[in-house]
């Protein structure tokens, strides 16, 4: 059996989206344990994985690859614009709208302020570059209090311009 982390590497798909890609392709996944960590994990048979890769290869060749690696996005979500206008959630996601939906579980009116395409490996560097200022203080892992959002947006524009 091939664990999802190994399948992701072999397929060139982000580790966070390989399971979804396999499920969309109709591949049966098996519950197992990761021999390294002992944690529960999903796995795919080598035969099913080879079939998935060959189908994906044909889709890429035809320009119809629905399972292509998705672009991650760094996002800024204003958590509660009316009650806490200085409170923001800053993180990375394939789908910032899904992150917004998660925020709505706890706060009724969050809004996405802005997103930028961002590789997952840049996440901490990007957040550090944006938040290296006295106008920002960390409240929780992805929750920040910011007195001047314009400074954060300006820093983000400069940071992502350097990466292009």
Give tens-digit pLDDT for 101-152: 888 888 888 999 998 888 888 888 888 888 877 788 888 888 999 988 888 8
Instruction: Look up the CATH number of the domain holding residue 39.
Output: 1.10.1660
Q: 13, 41, 62: which is the final residue of a domain?
A: 62
Least confident of 2-11, 19-28, 65-74, 117-126: 65-74
In a domain, 141, yes or no: yes
69 contacts 12 by C-beta, under 8 angstroms: yes
- pLDDT of 67 reads 46
pLDDT over 50 at 84, yes or no = yes
Q: Report residue 87's pLDDT band, with 50, 70 and 90 as the boundaries.
A: very high
- pLDDT of 70 reads 60
In a domain, 68, yes or no: no
Mean pLDDT taken over the chain: 82
- pLDDT of 68 reads 47
In a domain, 67, yes or no: no
In a domain, 90, yes or no: yes
The residue-averaged pLDDT of 64-88 equals 78
pLDDT over 60 at 60, yes or no = no
Expressed as residue numbers, the domain containing 153 is 73-163
Picking from 66, 63, 54, the residue whose alpha carbon sits closest to that of residue 23 is: 66
Task: Give exposure, 55-65, as e/b (b: 16+ Cβ within 10 Å).
Answer: ebeeeeeeeee
Looking at the 3D structure of the chain, how many domains does it have? 2
Do 47 and 86 sit in the same domain of this protein?
Answer: no
In a domain, 135, yes or no: yes
Strands 84-93 and 143-146: antiparallel
Q: Report residue 64's pLDDT band, with 50, 70 and 90 as the boundaries.
A: very low
Do 157 and 99 sit in the same domain of this protein?
Answer: yes
Q: Report residue 59's pLDDT band, with 50, 70 and 90 as the boundaries.
A: low
Task: Provide CB contacts within 8 A for 41, sequence distance 6+.
Answer: 3, 4, 5, 31, 32, 33, 34
Residue 90 CA to residue 92 CA, distance in Å, equals 7
- pLDDT of 57 reads 64
Question: Within the chain, how many helices (H) and strands (E) appear?
Answer: 6, 8
Residue 135 CA to residue 138 CA, distance in Å, equals 10
- pLDDT of 151 reads 87
Do 53 and 131 sit in the same domain of this protein?
Answer: no
pTM score, two decimals?
Answer: 0.57
Do 153 and 104 sit in the same domain of this protein?
Answer: yes
């Amino acid at each position: 059996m091939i664990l999802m982390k190994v399948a992701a590497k072999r397929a060139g798909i982000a580790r966070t989206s390989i399971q979804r890609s396999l499920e969309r392709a109709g591949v049966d996944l098996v519950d197992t344990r990761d021999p390294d960590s002992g944690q529960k994990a999903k796995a795919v048979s080598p035969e099913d994985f080879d079939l998935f890769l060959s189908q994906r290869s044909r889709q890429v060749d035809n320009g119809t690859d629905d399972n292509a690696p998705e672009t991650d996005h760094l996002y800024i979500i204003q958590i509660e614009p009316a009650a806490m206008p200085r409170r923001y959630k800053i993180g990375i996601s394939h789908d910032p709208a899904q992150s917004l939906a998660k925020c709505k579980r706890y706060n009724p009116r969050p809004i996405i302020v802005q997103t930028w395409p961002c590789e997952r490996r840049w996440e901490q560097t990007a957040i550090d570059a944006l938040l290296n200022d006295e106008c920002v203080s960390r409240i929780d892992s992805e929750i920040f209090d910011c007195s001047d959002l314009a400074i954060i947006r300006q820093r983000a524009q400069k940071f992502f311009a350097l990466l292009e």
